[in-house]
Amino acid sequence: MAKIRKVENKIKLGLELDELPEQLKQKIDEALKDKKVTEKQRQKIYEKAFEEYKKALVEPGESVGIIGAESIGEPATQMTLNTKHFSGVAELNVTTGLPRIIEIVDGRKTISTPSMEIYLKKEYENEEDVKKYTLQIKETNLSEISKEFNVNLEEFSIEVTLDEKKLKDLELTKEKVIKVLNKTLKKLKAEEKEGIIKLTFKSKEENFNELYKAKDKLKNVYVSGIKNIKQVLPVKKEEGYVLITAGTNLKEIMKLPYVDTYRTVSNDIFEIYEYFGIEAARQAIINEVYKVMENQGLNIDIRHLMLVADTMCNSATVKGITRYGVVKEKSSVLARASFETALNHVINAALMGEKDPMNSIVENVMVNQIIPAGTGIPKLVMDLDIKKKK
Amino acid sequence: MDNKKYIYKKIGAVQFGLLSPQMIKKMAVVKIVTPELYDKEGYPVDGGLMDLRLGVIDPGLRSKTTGARMTEDLGHFGYIPLARPVIHIKFVPIIYDLLRSTCSTCGKVLISQDKIDAHKKELKRIKNIRGLDAVRTKVKTIIAEAKNTKKCPHCKAKQPTTKLEKPYTFFENDRRMTPVEVRVRLEKIPDEDLEVLGLNKELARPEWMVLTVLPIPPVTIRPSITLESGERSEDDLTHKLGDIVRINQRLFENVNAGAPEIIIEDLWDLLQYHVTTYFDNEVAQLPPARHRSGQPLKTLTERIKGKEGRIRHNLAGKRTNFSARSVISPDPMININEVGVPLMVAKKLTVPERVTEWNIEYLKKFVERGPDKYPGANYIVRPDGKRKRLTEETIELALEELQPGYIVERHLMDGDISLFNRQPSLHRNSMMAHRIKVLPGRTLRLNPSVCHPYNADFDGDAMNLHIPQNEEAMAEAQILMEVRTQLNSPRYGLSIIGLIQDGISGLYLLTKNENIKYEEAVELLAYTGLKNYDKLPKKETVTGRDVFSVLLPDDFDFVSKSKDKKPVVIKEGKLIEGVMDKANLGEGAGLMLRSINKKYGSEKAMEIIAKMSVLGIHYLLKKGFTIKLSETDITKEIEEKIQKILQEADVKVKELIEQYQKGELEAYPGKTIKETLELNILEVLNNVRNKVGEFLYEAIPEDNHFEIMARSGARGNILNLAQISGVLGQQALRGERINRGYKGRTLSCFTKNDLGPDAHGFIRSNFKKGLKPHEFFFQSMVGRDSLMDTGLRTPKSGYLYRRLANAMQDLKVDYDNTVRDSAGKIIQFTYGEDGIDVSKSEGGSINIHRIITETIGIKEKKEKAKKADA
């Protein structure tokens, strides 16, 4: 064993078992900070920690995959199905529990309740700023900032009266609104007249039906804020203010000058993958699943979640644990066939003349052979002629 | 080398491919020509579907191919030459792709030669780097590219439009193609181009997808059953094959007789239908072939597919012999790693023991006693593998015959190893190795401490027992699966086996300032099997802590907190401060057990757990501990206080409603005012039960048995008592008060738009008093909802688990400590980033603080000792 490991160390695979891992060493140093210890004692502690560390290592051949799957599957049976959750009095609805785990593990592109936790930079962390930004971030449409919508049949126009107070809260002005309206509306032209915004058709065609339709459309025209953010809720936590949102838009939020980009997160794994890449997505999967488990009061070691996340992200894109995702990519035909859509796998394998090398677990179970895991890995050959030789 | 006796070959790989007509003929031992199965005597007809050359399913007959008797032979294939070719339904989509992406004139792929070469190169590269699945994706894009070409880049021929009318009819320029034409088209595709189309030229020539000969499976896979009336009932496959042969013969006759084209075409279509349903009887556009009774036939695809199909039911799942199943019951007096097995079972299950020069006398005694006297033996096995059953007549013969090299299958005895399992087997602790303990009775017995890992209780649960049948399996079970190796959960690295129920409440009472006589203490300790009482202080009365401490190792140091957050201190094997309760004795958070396991090994830890449990139980036995109805009685003052809490809540709710009606209530952001009101009311009412619980916790005397159980964590909590003798509290449905029923009200006994607590599921009564009708109704609503929830959750989480297990089952740690899948692809460079096995760690990490205190602590002591010396 020792020899094998030395050779492999050269290509830096796996563990180097010559000394205590740096991380553990740092932890010990941290713990010893305010204690009086002699150098000898310190060395002894290192030694002892290393000893225990070596004892706690996984043994080669351990079926860590199955253990990981069990560790998630077993507590899943105890979880409540409750989709919605309100912790505290006024929190947003966020999918938790089993549905959320299924959603993550499926690798769904659109999730049922996208949400963000936006942290603000230290200098903006006061009540006033928080209130202001809460309003500014939320996606606002015209109807939210106006008092009245009128259809003026005489002049064939729509008149919108804006709510001054709300405009002020959002740091908007009428001019700005008009500018935005002119930019987004193609058929209409907006102007200010006597404090009222007047919208008229660019073309001369006059059709009342069109007019009323335009009015309804107008109500939902986006004016300010960040698209997709349907709701923003400021919450005061121990570490400061957090803006919790319904809907996510990482790209735009990250551009805001007052947002602390280091701490702000989204719960949409695909969005994270798109903007930050696969490593961030992996971490997001781990965090999200862990959050759900913690929420349900279930205890699970992070290593199991890492393994799930790593299998999902192994191909450099986020793949769900479904017949279209991870399972499809397995190298062995029979292992795929034993999951779902058995015949399709066999037929496709036949067309390509695939060869199943019998190196995964199920095929060997199928043909009653020893499985290549755990004690099935070492292969002993006994020389039966040993007596004769002697 | 004389290796013949040993099996040293194994299946190295399985090759997938299509069968060529030549191959089908080569495999076949008989050509099937008649749909008849048996002649008048009931003897299989030659050339029929039950031909004896295809294998035997009747006792007494011999295979005409090998001469083997029933079950000695797997059977052999036959074939039918089809009068006209027929399309294989499973390849229709592929044929369709091929027809559209190759030239109808020259057969080449409709892409220029340069591009073909480029694609070939690219495909090779993809295959090497990303595997076959990526190749399939790439091939799809190539086919899509070729499909849209109108003119062949090779021979410049104009391409016809090809259409598929489901399920299997092809049209070329709106003219129907016969399978013959399809086959001709497919034959044209040159070998060199197949690679680009994702086909293997040796194993999957496209024309093989149009069948010209049909292989007939051996009779052994479609056995007929003889009904009680003596009538034979044939397998579904035989029925279907009969149809095919019949139509095929008619088609042959008509073709040879030169019948009109229409008749031939009709028969051809019929043949196509039968062959199609033979492969798959669930094709979307076809009516399924049925029995005379109207029930659809189960043909090839249905046999393989799904949960009950061959793959999942028979190949990935197996049945075993040497197993037992019975109802379980508790026995705290057997060890944790033992399982009590009924004598009846012990006489049926056997352990094979090989006869050697040294144990022959010993084993002879077993044989002598035979199958009925325990412990005896049921079989002896000769070295050539012949098994001989022991009966009264054969015992003597067997005794004479027995010599080294034989195997005796002797009855199960105390100390044999077995695997014990309870479904659902959700984690590895659902199947552990136990030592056999033969006991009277008819149930399997287990120590209540192992209930938790199995998730078992005794309300009628049944469990399974398996006996490993060779030394290798026994050794593995002992070393890897024994209960003592499973004390820590691989899920979170803490104890998964601990004391439960009486064990906990017993020790709780014992360690809680209890003084008992020395003699009594010794008696209690004697029950645990302890023989050395030196550790017990030699005083007239000893404390409960002293008694408990006797079980602890002498050099055990431990500091922790009990359930009510008070400190627990164990120093040098003595419990100095605090009481023992679930926080330290139970599974899960039980850090004390974890430390004992770490320091003294699993053997010792298991022993200590067992002894503690026995001590606790016997203390309760001596003291007397029950729960009775009067335990839930509460005094008048307490009752009044509870009513006061209720009134307070009522007032608060009323205020809220008033505020709401006056419009003074301010809505939470993102919520309507009504929702805000509901949330507020719910919070107030939910608090009532908690308040009552908290109050009762203080008010009920400490020696109340209900209270003792709740405080020690043995069973139940104080909220249960609050519900029994206090108030039941608010019934919440999906996180809201009950708001459904009639228009404006939940039940007709309330006034409309009543927002008060009673109208929306607040229950003021308790279980002891009994509920009012409306309260009962509300509670039933919530009860039903939670039943629904469990019912819906179980299959969902089961599927999630299956998917996870299937995706990750091949991941294992390699010799270089990387985590790899079956193909050797690296998933993690180091397992969990640090290579620590969770079940060997302490809650998932190395406990630095313990190590530090251990090292420094020892030093300090030594220094102290030095000082003392000086």
Q: Residue B10: list chain A partners with CB under 8 A.
A: 369
Whether residues B94 and B140 share a domain: the answer is: yes
Contact at CB, A360 and B838, closer than 8 angstroms:
no
Residue of B nearest to A50 (CA): B846
**Residue A154 Cα, gap to closest chain B Cα (Å):** 38
Tally the domains of chain A: 3
First to last CA, chain A: 29
Whether residues B264 and B391 share a domain: the answer is: no
| pLDDT value at A91 more than 60 | no
| pLDDT value at A202 more than 90 | no
3-state secondary structure string across B751-768: CCCCCCCHHHCEECCCCC
Q: Residue A337: list chain B partners with CB under 8 A.
A: 311
Task: Choose the final residue of a domain: A56, A79, A101.
Answer: A56
Q: Looking at the complex, does the CB of residue B91 fall below 8 Å from at least one CB of chain A? A: yes
Nearest to B11 among A48, A55, A369 (CB): A369
| ipTM for the whole complex | 0.88
Residues of B numbered 119-138 whose beta carbons fall under 8 angstroms of chain A's beta carbons: which are they? Answer: 131-133, 135-136
Q: Residue B77: what pLDDT?
A: 93
CA-nearest of A77, A112, A68, A107 to A321 is A107
Residue of A nearest to B424 (CA): A74
Whether residues B271 and B351 share a domain: the answer is: no
Residue range of the domain that includes A180: 140-224
| pLDDT value at B19 more than 90 | yes
The DSSP result for B20-80, as a single string, is: PHHHHHHH-S-B---S--B-TTSPBPTTSTT-GGG---STT---TTT---TTS-----EEE
| pLDDT value at B5 more than 70 | no
Whether residues B597 and B670 share a domain: the answer is: no
Contact at CB, B490 and A71, closer than 8 angstroms:
yes
Q: Residue A81: list chain B partners with CB under 8 A.
A: 789, 792-793, 796
Q: Looking at the complex, does the CB of residue B841 fall below 8 Å from at least one CB of chain A? A: yes
Helical ranges in B558-635 per DSSP H: 582-585, 591-623
Q: What is the DSSP letter of B836?
A: B
Task: Say if CB B351 and CB B322 are below 8 A apart.
Answer: no
Q: What is the mean pLDDT of chain B?
A: 88
Regarding predicted confidence, which is higher, A163 or B100? B100
Residue of A nearest to B426 (CA): A74
Tally the domains of chain B: 6
Q: Looking at the complex, does the CB of residue B16 fall below 8 Å from at least one CB of chain A? A: yes
C-alpha–C-alpha distance, residues A177 and A61, integer Å: 66
Whether residues B646 and B772 share a domain: the answer is: yes
Q: What is the DSSP letter of B391?
A: -
Question: Among A41, A53, A57, which would you mutate to test the B interface (most chain B Cβ atoms within 10 Å of its Cβ)?
Answer: A57
Contact at CB, B812 and A62, closer than 8 angstroms:
yes
What is the CB neighbour count within 10 angstroms for residue B510?
26
Q: Residue B539: what pLDDT?
A: 85
Rounded-to-10 torsion of CA A41, A44, A45, A51: -170
Q: Which residue has the tokens 């449409």?
A: A141
Residues of B numbered 746-775 whose beta carbons fall under 8 angstroms of chain A's beta carbons: which are they? Answer: none
Q: Flag whether the pTM goes above 0.80.
A: yes
Q: What is the pLDDT of residues A104-155, one digit of tens each?
A: 999 888 888 888 888 888 888 787 888 888 888 888 888 777 777 777 777 7
Paired tokens of B565:
């957050």
Contact at CB, A308 and B804, closer than 8 angstroms:
yes
Contact at CB, B793 and A8, closer than 8 angstroms:
no
**Residue A273 Cα, gap to closest chain B Cα (Å):** 18
Q: Which residue has the tokens 């719960």?
A: A267
Question: Among B124, B137, B794, B808, which would you mutate to test the A interface (most chain A Cβ atoms within 10 Å of its Cβ)?
Answer: B808
Question: Among A5, A16, A310, which would you mutate to test the B interface (most chain B Cβ atoms within 10 Å of its Cβ)?
Answer: A310
| pLDDT value at A211 more than 80 | no
Q: Indicate the range of A175-179, A279-283, B104-108, B432-436 predicted with least confidence.
A: A175-179
Q: Looking at the complex, does the CB of residue B818 fall below 8 Å from at least one CB of chain A? A: yes
Residues of B numbered 569-608 whose beta carbons fall under 8 angstroms of chain A's beta carbons: which are they? Answer: 588
Residue range of the domain that includes B265: 21-85+215-226+233-312
Q: Residue A205: what pLDDT?
A: 66
Question: Among B809, B829, B847, B859, which would you mutate to test the A interface (most chain A Cβ atoms within 10 Å of its Cβ)?
Answer: B809
Residue B7 placed within a domain? no
Residues of B numbered 387-446 whose beta carbons fall under 8 angstroms of chain A's beta carbons: which are they? Answer: 424, 426-428
Residue A116 placed within a domain? no
Paired tokens of B436:
């056999």
Contact at CB, A303 and B797, closer than 8 angstroms:
no
**Residue A348 Cα, gap to closest chain B Cα (Å):** 9
CA-nearest of B469, B356, B353 to B405 is B356
**Residue A157 Cα, gap to closest chain B Cα (Å):** 33
Residue B493 placed within a domain? no
B576-586 average pLDDT score: 85
Residue B150 placed within a domain? yes
**Residue A196 Cα, gap to closest chain B Cα (Å):** 29
Residue of B nearest to A87 (CA): B735
Nearest to A354 among B16, B304, B312 (CB): B16
Beta bridge partners, A356, equal: B14
Residue A355 placed within a domain? yes
Contact at CB, A343 and B204, closer than 8 angstroms:
no
Contact at CB, A356 and B809, closer than 8 angstroms:
no
Task: Choose the final residue of a domain: A198, A224, A250.
Answer: A224
- Domain CATH for B551: 1.10.274.100
Q: How many residues does chain B have?
A: 870
Task: Choose the final residue of a domain: B623, B658, B687.
Answer: B623
Q: Looking at the complex, does the CB of residue B475 fall below 8 Å from at least one CB of chain A? A: no
Task: Choose the final residue of a domain: B271, B290, B312.
Answer: B312
C-alpha–C-alpha distance, residues B676 and B488, integer Å: 46
Q: Looking at the complex, does the CB of residue B858 fall below 8 Å from at least one CB of chain A? A: no
pLDDT band at B478 (very low <50, low <70, confident <90, very high): very high
Q: Which region, left, alpha or beta, applies to residue B417 given φ > 0 means left and ψ of -120 to 50 means alpha?
A: beta
Residue B9 placed within a domain? no
Whether residues B651 and B758 share a domain: the answer is: yes
Q: What is the pLDDT of residues A251-310, one digit of tens each?
A: 888 888 888 888 888 989 999 999 999 999 999 999 999 988 888 888 899 999 999 999
**Residue A74 Cα, gap to closest chain B Cα (Å):** 5
Whether residues B735 and B814 share a domain: the answer is: no
- Domain CATH for B303: 4.10.860.120
| pLDDT value at A49 more than 60 | yes
- Domain CATH for A349: 1.10.150.390
Contact at CB, A338 and B851, closer than 8 angstroms:
no
Task: Kindly calculate the radius of gyration of chain B based on its CA atoms and give it in whole angstroms.
Answer: 38
Q: What is the pLDDT of residues B711-759, one digit of tens each?
A: 888 888 888 888 898 889 888 887 788 888 898 889 999 998 888 888 9
Whether residues B715 and B730 share a domain: the answer is: yes
Nearest to B811 among A64, A350, A358 (CB): A64
Task: Choose the final residue of a domain: B312, B334, B357.
Answer: B312
| pLDDT value at B481 more than 90 | yes
Nearest to A65 among B301, B424, B808 (CB): B808
| pLDDT value at B632 more than 90 | no
Nearest to B817 among A15, A337, A356 (CB): A15
**Residue A65 Cα, gap to closest chain B Cα (Å):** 5
Q: What is the pLDDT of residues B196-219, one digit of tens each?
A: 898 988 899 999 999 999 999 999
**Residue A64 Cα, gap to closest chain B Cα (Å):** 5
Paired tokens of A32:
């010893």
Helical ranges in chain A per DSSP H: 2-10, 22-32, 39-56, 64-76, 97-106, 127-137, 142-145, 164-169, 174-184, 208-219, 250-253, 269-276, 278-295, 302-313, 333-337, 342-352, 361-366, 386-389
CA angle B727, B729, B734 (to 5 degrees): 160
The size of the A-B interface in CB pairs under 8 A is 370
Paired tokens of A354:
């695939």
Q: Looking at the complex, does the CB of residue B505 fall below 8 Å from at least one CB of chain A? A: no
Q: Residue A55: what pLDDT?
A: 83
Whether residues B219 and B203 share a domain: the answer is: no
Q: What is the pLDDT of residues B817-837, one digit of tens each?
A: 889 988 888 999 888 888 888
Q: Residue A29: what pLDDT?
A: 81
Kind of pairing between the strands at B14-15 and A355-356: antiparallel
Whether residues B445 and B377 share a domain: the answer is: yes
Backbone angles phi, psi at B343, to 5 degrees: -55, -40
Residue A357 placed within a domain? yes
Task: Choose the final residue of a domain: A56, A77, A100.
Answer: A56
Q: Residue B856: list chain A partners with CB under 8 A.
A: 35, 37, 41, 45
